[in-house]
Amino acid sequence: MPIAEARVKVAILSSWKGTGRINWRDSLAQIEHDKLVLRYLRMGEVVGEDVFPLSTLQDLGVKVPDQFKLNPEKEHFGLTFYLPTRGELRVILTIGENLLIYDEKKFREFVHKIFEVLINGKTVWFQLARIVGGAINMESQWESGKLRIISVKSARRGVTERNIVVLNKDMQPIPFFSDVEDLDIEEVDFQNKKIKAWKIKHFYVDQTVTSYLYIPERSTQLYILRYLLKYIPSYFEFIMKISSEFPTLQAEFQEVMEKELKELESLDDIEKQILMALYSGINPLEIHQFLGLSEKEIEEIYDRMIDKGLLKIVMIRKIVDLTRDGRKIVNKLIKYGLASM
């Protein structure tokens, strides 16, 4: 009996056959506790199937290039398997255009269920609030727990969201991945040996603490990182810091950074200075004086930046403000050391 199923479009790319023409097939996707089953459909009838044991899963949530997508406007979900008889296979799932057949919400829930099957019940070890206020909490000792994806309320933001927690021996959820402030890897003592644990600085109950989480299975580490990347993208930079053992993640991060740097290179020095000035609160009507330009010159530059989507007009006299994209650009300039406040 499947745990979840969804009507999907599926394409399979093989490392043995190259990446030529992509063949999209209508399918009923089913997830079971140990496998992904694709039942291919033609005129509503099952005409074949593929079975992918989860034990052969190499990665999931992998980036799907636009040229491989059926419709770049719709969500795609990529999984990588390795089957000895077929080589490395990239399985891409998405939905078709017919809303009478394909349900976008059901597709998203199906994808989430895949993560649940892979993560729920995995054993981990933790030291909760090992460091409090900069001092070691000697009462915090290693305990075992089980991973679970549940709806949990953020202690800091008061928002209820689905996230990964650790259930302790009393089955109480500990939200290590809610309100994360920093994430790193540290070598620590565990059962008379040295291990690499995740060092998580997070807001817990009513204060910021630092906890340690030891995840013995490398595959489980990857599934957690992929889950956080997909559902909490604001943790992107935290995940970059602890992803060195996962080449596919590193390659994706490198691609993102190269794309961002290329985007920043398209800005000239004056545009960067204007973005930083507006970000720091300087009156847009005074920026021409700040930069030693005439009002006509600055308005021409504003026009160019408005066309790029970095500024928006908030009053008739070219009083401008940063757009969301403009603020993102400023954060990237600061991140890569290309500008400072």
> What tens digit of pLDDT does each residue of 114-130 get?
999 999 999 999 999 99
Rounded to the nearest 10 degrees, the angle between the axes of helix 269-279 and helix 295-307 is 90
Domains and CATH numbers, the chain: 4-102 (2.30.29.30), 120-259 (2.30.29), 268-340 (no CATH)
pLDDT for residue 44: 84
Predicted pLDDT at 266: 83
pLDDT, one tens digit per residue, over 211-234 is: 999 999 999 999 999 999 999 988
At residue 331's C-alpha, the angle toward residues 200 and 272, to 5°, is 160
Spatial distance between the Cα atoms of 141 and 130, rounded to a whole number of angstroms:
8
> Which stretches does DSSP call E strand in the chain?
4-14, 25-31, 35-42, 45-53, 57-62, 77-83, 87-94, 123-132, 135-136, 143-153, 160-167, 173-174, 180-190, 193-204, 207-214, 311-315, 319-322
| Of 336, 317, 180, 168, nearest in space to 258 by CA | 336
Inter-axis angle of helices 247-265 and 324-335, nearest 10: 110
DSSP codes joined into one string, 246-293: -HHHHHHHHHHHHHHHHHHHTS-HHHHHHHHHHHTT--TTTHHHHHT-
* CA-to-CA separations, 66 to 8, 73, 75, 76, 320, in angstroms, rounded: 18, 10, 11, 10, 34
* pLDDT tens, the chain, 341 aa long: 899 999 999 999 998 876 567 899 999 999 999 999 999 999 889 999 999 999 999 999 999 988 899 999 999 999 999 999 999 999 999 999 998 899 999 999 999 999 999 999 999 999 999 999 889 999 999 999 999 999 988 888 888 999 999 999 999 999 999 999 999 999 999 999 999 999 999 999 889 999 999 999 999 999 999 999 999 988 988 998 898 889 888 888 887 777 777 777 888 889 989 998 898 888 888 888 888 899 889 989 999 989 888 898 876 556 778 888 888 888 877 776 766 66
Nearby residues of 261 by Cβ (< 8 Å), 6 or more positions away:
336
pTM, two decimals, is 0.81
